Chain A
Amino acid sequence: MSPRDWELLLAQARAARLLARLAQLCETRGWMAAVPDGPRRHLESGKRFADRLRFEVLWEVEHIQAALQALPTPIVLLKGAAYLAAGLPPGNGRLFSDVDILVRREQLPGVESALFAAGWIAEKLKPYDDRYYRQWMHELPPLQHVQRRTYLDVHHSIAPPTSRFAVDGAALLTGCRALPEEPRLSVLAPVDMVLHSAVHLLQEGQFDGGLRDLLDLNDLLLHFGADTSFWPDLLQRARELGFGVPLGHALVQIDRLFGTRVPDRWAAELRSLAPPSASRRLMASLLAVALRPDHSSCDSRLTGLARWLLYVRSHWLRMPWYQIAPHLVRKAWARSLERYRSTPPAEAGV
């Protein structure tokens, strides 16, 4: 890779919040020594930043546990915090922001009170919005800690109740697993974690996921897929919960990007769950546009990853890197609010 290529790669990685992950990859594959000095310093710097955020998340999780430990609900970590706490691959080189947890729906009022007592305050909303959220969405607004300024999102399911893919949180809680070192904290069952990631990628039929979310999902599939019962269990659970469509979409994209796919013996079953071929092709072609290569290949060990990252187009890139502080708010919750705000309740929801 030429020096200019390195500059572009670093810029793209930073913009996609993947600089630390790129650094992690270079380390694990033993490529660091081959990276020229200039770029290597940037990678190492990015990694330091990510290392710090890991600490911050773990510290945050400790506070959450202390606040909620007396309540009769599991405290299920979701997404980034879960990957980190459970030592899963997507936790490496990750830039963490907010923490998401899942609790028992009936305990939401108690959870909110306990968190309030420990310093988490609900974002100040206009009365209409606030009521809308609590009564209509049955969700808590994002909470911010008064002192640490960190954000916490409390869920009772893995998709909003009004979404197409609504599922009762109780079903998810039955599968959750306690963390060995911290029995008061749990994570979702592997199949549920994967389905959550897939649903998150597809917000109400729109491909909304970032490159990082795809990487996470791929990591999870590779990690859990080593267990032979994983794939059939996954398909079964997708069927049970009605997540066939997002799973199908997500797996198509994962296959095309990373070559990770459902083992042949389960391919037919996946097809039976997956969306109709027309919409699959549409999604695939949309993605092809998004990922169109604009650099010719070059000769080096890093070509595969480099070229792939260079394919990232601007609409994949979220916030500029310098606006990202740990614990930023933006989220499906806020987006959903915007969507529903302008639509009367009877028409909202798909």
Chain B
Amino acid sequence: MNPQPRSAAAGGAEPAVAPRPQARWRKNPRRQFHWLDWGGDSVVFELRSGHTYQFAPMVAAVMACFEEQARSVDELAAAIGSDLGIAADNELRLALVAIVEQLSGLGWIEPIDRP
């Protein structure tokens, strides 16, 4: 059980990769998720590991974007900004970079140019 997403060193099967702004990421096809939310944070069950996580709404939003298609941080900012009616400014981008790092550390997303 994880009250917070685990850090890159501890959690996933993949080493953490610092995201370059134009780098594109996609959901790791080997990971399967079940989400539940009641209007606030989400709880997520990841099938392969059997772990349960609690995530803030922004993280859920990011994963929802990745479920749809691969994206770069800039593309994420644009999509989320438009969905939530907020400016895709630097503050949003920084938050998204942190989230992408977290998710990459867990092995939930992977860079597209990886062989």
The answer on a CB contact under 8 Å between B48 and A147 is no
Q: Give chain A interface residues in 17-73, CB to chain B under 8 Å.
A: 52, 55-56, 58-59, 62-63, 66
The answer on a CB contact under 8 Å between B49 and A59 is yes
CA distance A62 to B107 in the complex (A): 12
Among residues of B, the one whose C-beta sits closest to the C-beta of A52 is B50
How distant is B52 from chain A, measured CB to nearest CB, in Å? 13
CA distance A59 to B50 in the complex (A): 9
The answer on a CB contact under 8 Å between A62 and B13 is yes
Q: Could you mark each residue 10-50 of chain B with 1 if its beta carbon is under 8 Å from any beta carbon of chain A, else 0?
A: 10011000000000000000100000000000000000111
The answer on a CB contact under 8 Å between A63 and B13 is yes
Residues of B contacting A62 in the complex (Cβ-Cβ under 8 angstroms): 13, 30, 48
The answer on a CB contact under 8 Å between B14 and A55 is no
The answer on a CB contact under 8 Å between A147 and B50 is no
Residues of B contacting A66 in the complex (Cβ-Cβ under 8 angstroms): 13-14
CA distance A147 to B30 in the complex (A): 22
Residues of A contacting B14 in the complex (Cβ-Cβ under 8 angstroms): 66
CA distance A266 to B18 in the complex (A): 62
How distant is B107 from chain A, measured CB to nearest CB, in Å? 9
How distant is B96 from chain A, measured CB to nearest CB, in Å? 26
Residues of B contacting A147 in the complex (Cβ-Cβ under 8 angstroms): 10
A-B contact count (CB 8 A): 15
The answer on a CB contact under 8 Å between B13 and A55 is no
The answer on a CB contact under 8 Å between A56 and B48 is no
CA distance A66 to B14 in the complex (A): 7
Residues of A contacting B30 in the complex (Cβ-Cβ under 8 angstroms): 62
The answer on a CB contact under 8 Å between B48 and A59 is yes
The answer on a CB contact under 8 Å between B13 and A56 is no
Q: Give chain A interface residues in 134-152, CB to chain B under 8 Å.
A: 147
Among residues of B, the one whose C-beta sits closest to the C-beta of A117 is B15
How distant is A350 from chain B, measured CB to nearest CB, in Å? 41
The answer on a CB contact under 8 Å between B10 and A55 is no
Residues of A contacting B49 in the complex (Cβ-Cβ under 8 angstroms): 59
Q: Quick one: which of B10, B30, B49 has the most chain A CB within 10 A?
A: B49
Residues of B contacting A55 in the complex (Cβ-Cβ under 8 angstroms): 48, 50
How distant is B2 from chain A, measured CB to nearest CB, in Å? 12
CA distance A55 to B13 in the complex (A): 15
CA distance A147 to B6 in the complex (A): 12
CA distance A58 to B30 in the complex (A): 12
CA distance A265 to B108 in the complex (A): 55
How distant is A254 from chain B, measured CB to nearest CB, in Å? 35
How distant is B83 from chain A, measured CB to nearest CB, in Å? 33
How distant is B24 from chain A, measured CB to nearest CB, in Å? 22
How distant is A68 from chain B, measured CB to nearest CB, in Å? 12
Residues of B contacting A63 in the complex (Cβ-Cβ under 8 angstroms): 13
How distant is A56 from chain B, measured CB to nearest CB, in Å? 7
How distant is A52 from chain B, measured CB to nearest CB, in Å? 7
Among residues of A, the one whose C-beta sits closest to the C-beta of B46 is A59
Among residues of B, the one whose C-beta sits closest to the C-beta of A56 is B50
Q: Quick one: which of B10, B13, B50 has the most chain A CB within 10 A?
A: B13
Among residues of A, the one whose C-beta sits closest to the C-beta of B11 is A147
Among residues of B, the one whose C-beta sits closest to the C-beta of A66 is B13
Among residues of A, the one whose C-beta sits closest to the C-beta of B50 is A55
CA distance A58 to B32 in the complex (A): 14
Q: Give chain A interface residues in 60-107, CB to chain B under 8 Å.
A: 62-63, 66
CA distance A56 to B47 in the complex (A): 11
Task: List 13 additional contacts besides A62-B48, A147-B10; criterion CB under 8 Å.
Answer: A52-B50, A55-B48, A55-B50, A56-B50, A58-B48, A59-B48, A59-B49, A59-B50, A62-B13, A62-B30, A63-B13, A66-B13, A66-B14
Chain B interface residues toward A at CB < 8 A = 10, 13-14, 30, 48-50
Q: List 15 A-B contacts (CB under 8 A).
A: A52-B50, A55-B48, A55-B50, A56-B50, A58-B48, A59-B48, A59-B49, A59-B50, A62-B13, A62-B30, A62-B48, A63-B13, A66-B13, A66-B14, A147-B10
CB-based closest 5 A-B pairs? A66-B13, A63-B13, A59-B49, A55-B50, A62-B13
